Structure 1
Amino acid sequence: MSETPPPILVVDDQEKLLRLVVMLMNRIGFPDVEGVTDGLQALERMRERRYALVIADLEMEPMDGIALLREIRADDALMNTPFILTEASFDFEDINVAHQAGADAFILKPFDMAVLKSKLKQVLNGKPRRREAPVAAETSLSMDFPMLGKF
């Protein structure tokens, strides 16, 4: 008997993209996927229910993906929730800021299914965070984001 896939929360202010991501997640084996259109709604849902993962768009209004991530990491009850940021393009500054805020991974839109599956496996099997021993971004960047290589 296989284990039931964990619940996932998707956050995107573009409703068509939100529905598409929810559908993709269902299609690859995650039947329990909820979608919301803004960061405030996401925080509200997360305080009502425990999610195994949040997938959020970087560019949203009124609360963008980084602000949502910072709120989650600052909340003791939510801080260990794995978090993936999505966007059509990332520049180095986006990646640096998101990494420092505690993002677990990035996925470019449109999603490549193999990359999506790989990132999901990596993030859902990750280790919980410990607030008392933050890891410096410089030392962990190449481990958490192998596509960036060593600095």
Structure 2
Amino acid sequence: MADKELKFLVVDDFSTMRRIVRNLLKELGFNNVEEAEDGVDALNKLQAGGFGFVISDWNMPNMDGLELLKTIRADGGMSALPVLMVTAEAKKENIIAAAQAGASGYVVKPFTAATLNSCA
């Protein structure tokens, strides 16, 4: 990971998981972190601009992580934004779907700060 001022958006429907990811990022020296509870909330925040990296859960209500990823990739202003997909499932078809949709990386829960650092 590069710039310590990079602004992260952590997207997960569970506040505990958002807090865990926020703490892992803090452990790596990244303090500029905002949270969203689902893909719809994330898109609203992303459209306001300023984010340099998205870490998104896969399974969420309203708009899941894969749909969020596809929407980001289809938007000219956000299409190059790095998106790390996080999930509790290491299903081969999910990994392939995420890669085909343009995910920058794919991490299976639980993970450590070192894992996060190597993916982002």
> Where do 1:56-71 residues align within 5 Å?
56-71=56-71
Runs of 5+ unmatched residues, structure 2: none
For 1:101, the equivalent position in structure 2 comes to 101
For 2:76, the equivalent position in structure 1 comes to 76
1:40-85 deviation per Cα after TM superposition (whole angstroms, max 9, x unaligned):
1111111112211100001111111000001100100110100000
CA distance in structure 1 between the partners assigned to 2:49 and 2:27 by the alignment: 23
**106-115 or 37-46: which moved more?**
106-115
CA distance in structure 1 between the partners assigned to 2:86 and 2:32 by the alignment: 20
Q: Tell me which amino acid in the other structure corresponds to 1:22.
A: R
CA distance in structure 1 between the partners assigned to 2:46 and 2:32 by the alignment: 14
Q: Which has the larger radius of gyration?
A: 1
CA pair 50-89 structure 1, distance change in 2 beyond 3 A: same
CA distance in structure 1 between the partners assigned to 2:45 and 2:20 by the alignment: 20
For 1:10, the equivalent position in structure 2 comes to 10
- Determine helix, strand or coil for the equivalent of 2:47: helix
The structure 1 segments of at least 4 consecutive aligned residues displaced by more than 6 Å after TM superposition are none
> Where do 1:2-151 residues align within 5 Å?
4-120=4-120
CA distance in structure 1 between the partners assigned to 2:3 and 2:109 by the alignment: 29
**1:5 shift after superposition:** 2.5
Structure with the greater relative contact order (CA < 8 A, sep ≥ 6): 1 or 2?
A: 2
CA distance in structure 2 between the partners assigned to 1:71 and 1:113 by the alignment: 27
Runs of 5+ unmatched residues, structure 1: 121-151
- The CA RMSD over aligned residues, in Å, is 1.4
CA pair 92-38 structure 1, distance change in 2 beyond 3 A: same
